[in-house]
Amino acid sequence: MIRLWVSMVVVFGFAPMALAQDVTLPEGLGNLTALKPPQEKQAGLPVDLSGFLETRMGARLQNDPLQKDMSLGEARLQIGLEKQVDRLTFRVVSDFIYDPVQDIYDIDLERGQGVIDLREANMVFSPLDFMDVKLGRQIITWGTGDLIFINDLFAKDWNSFFIGRDTEYLKAPSDALKTAFFFGDTNLDVVYVPRFDADRFIDGTRISYFDRARGKLSGRDMPVRAARPDDWFSDDEIALRLYRSFGAYEAALYYYDGYWKSPAGQDQVTGLATFPRLSVYGASLRGPVQAGIGAVEFGYYKSADGAAHNPLVRNDELRLLISYEQEVGDELTGSLQYYLERRLDYGAYLATLPVGAIRDDRNRHLFTLRLTKLMMQQDLKLSLFNFYSPSDRDGYLRAQVSYKIRDNLRLEAGGNIFYGAEIHSFFGQFQDASNVYSALHYDF
């Protein structure tokens, strides 16, 4: 106390003295004894409201006789509400969509069809100091990949991704119980999905796909008919992530038990596409490397029993991802990824392959390059993301320009360009779906 008093005397003694010629003392420093604590403001609304309104239009660059010319045309309103009651946080985020291209207005929350797409409806609480629970519809993401996922086996929406919706729509919601345990350095996430959540996969209704059974493209004429596991509590999924930091490095182990998220098999009797059983064991490591961030992620995909000898079920696989990101210039970031998908039991696969069927390579190699440049006080963002597979001889280029007219108003334009030497390869089959789009997006 005495020290404080002495200090204040000293400060007081100095304050009124003459100022330097070329500097003005800020308000408050002229007389330090007069300094007062600033006024505190009151809190706002009882419910936290946020969202956006946007229109998004897209057109195909090629003619696909199996699809509409417009790849995308929709008006979307998103409303997010969050409310805290005691120690519970409730959150609902829902999209309301008018989409004449899809032209389906009946609501199917699972498939993300119709005028309502419920993105989140969950509650969050911490029953114990070392435990967080999130229960309900939610978006879940983990792993180290940039638009490539090995151990993140939560639902994706590939249609949204390929036609130029915002990247957040690549993740489809999961109806899940997520429990996170924190034991000091080591933490565990447990996600339980009581009823299987499939990807919103490419089924032909928006984007045509190569139909191996017919040996040609199928679209709106022949959408994929799938038999999805849909019994509550028996057709369930569980995903675990055990992670901890070692200094600046983050290591994780993963386990998943459920189903292939997109069709990976066919029922011999009904001809329906199936989601065979799948278990995944994985690991990842991420941290600083040189001037950037490096990561490696690995996954062993254990497909349904007997997959190796069943040509109608996808085989076991090894998947590997190596990535590196670094700032390469002024407000310019570059990242590179190498991804490998290696089919196991390749001999068995070849042996069971029907005569005349398309033969997949043992290894699928994929490289990605991302460049992101910010300009004009970060109001203008240029982004380029290219997937290229030397083994499939195909690729996919995502380009986007985004400009903020005001803080809340953004104009976007971009393209999704698919290319390939063959019509049946992963990206090659989507060549007719190459598109350009633009969007006007207003946040509130």
- Applying the rule CB under 8 A, the residues between 281 and 300 that interact with another protein are 286-288, 291-293, 295
Binding another protein by CB under 8 A: which of 66, 72, 121, 140? Answer: 140
Closest CA to 275 of 248, 314, 239: 314
Which of 20-28, 253-261, 349-357, 384-392 is the region at the interface with another protein (rule: CB under 8 A)? 20-28
* Residue with Cβ nearer another protein (14 or 232): 14
Restricting to residues 144-183, name those near another protein by CB under 8 A: 144, 167-168, 170-171, 180, 182
Restricting to residues 302-321, name those near another protein by CB under 8 A: none
Chain centre to alpha carbon of residue 162: 13
Does residue 128 bind another protein (CB under 8 A)? no
Which of 193-201, 256-264, 327-335, 356-364 is the region at the interface with another protein (rule: CB under 8 A)? 327-335
Which own/partner pairs from 171-175 qualify as long-range (CB within 8 Å, at least 24 positions apart)?
Answer: 171/139, 171/140, 171/141, 172/112, 172/139, 172/197, 172/199, 172/200, 173/118, 173/119, 173/120, 173/137, 173/138, 173/139, 173/197, 174/137, 174/138, 174/139, 174/140, 175/136, 175/137
Does residue 86 bind another protein (CB under 8 A)? no
Binding another protein by CB under 8 A: which of 68, 272, 379, 391? Answer: 379
Judged by DSSP in three states, 35 sits in coil
**Minimum Å distance from CB 159 to another protein?**
17
CA angle 202, 206, 208 (to 5 degrees): 65
Residue whose pair of structure tokens reads 């997520």 in the numeric block: 178
Instruction: Please tell me the distance from the alpha carbon of residue 156 to that of residue 198, in angstroms, as a whole number.
Output: 8
Site string for another protein, 224-263 (x = CB under 8 A): -------------------x----x-x-------------
Which of 12-20, 197-205, 275-283, 418-426 is the region at the interface with another protein (rule: CB under 8 A)? 12-20
Restricting to residues 385-424, name those near another protein by CB under 8 A: 407-408, 410
Instruction: Please tell me the distance from the alpha carbon of residue 400 to that of residue 63, in angstroms, as a whole number.
Output: 22
Does residue 76 bind another protein (CB under 8 A)? no
Instruction: Please tell me the distance from the alpha carbon of residue 282 to that of residue 301, in angstroms, as a whole number.
Output: 9
CB atoms within 10 A of CB 357: 12
**Minimum Å distance from CB 177 to another protein?**
15
Closest CA to 201 of 134, 110, 127, 337: 110
Binding another protein by CB under 8 A: which of 26, 46, 354, 356? Answer: 26
* Residue with Cβ nearer another protein (221 or 327): 327
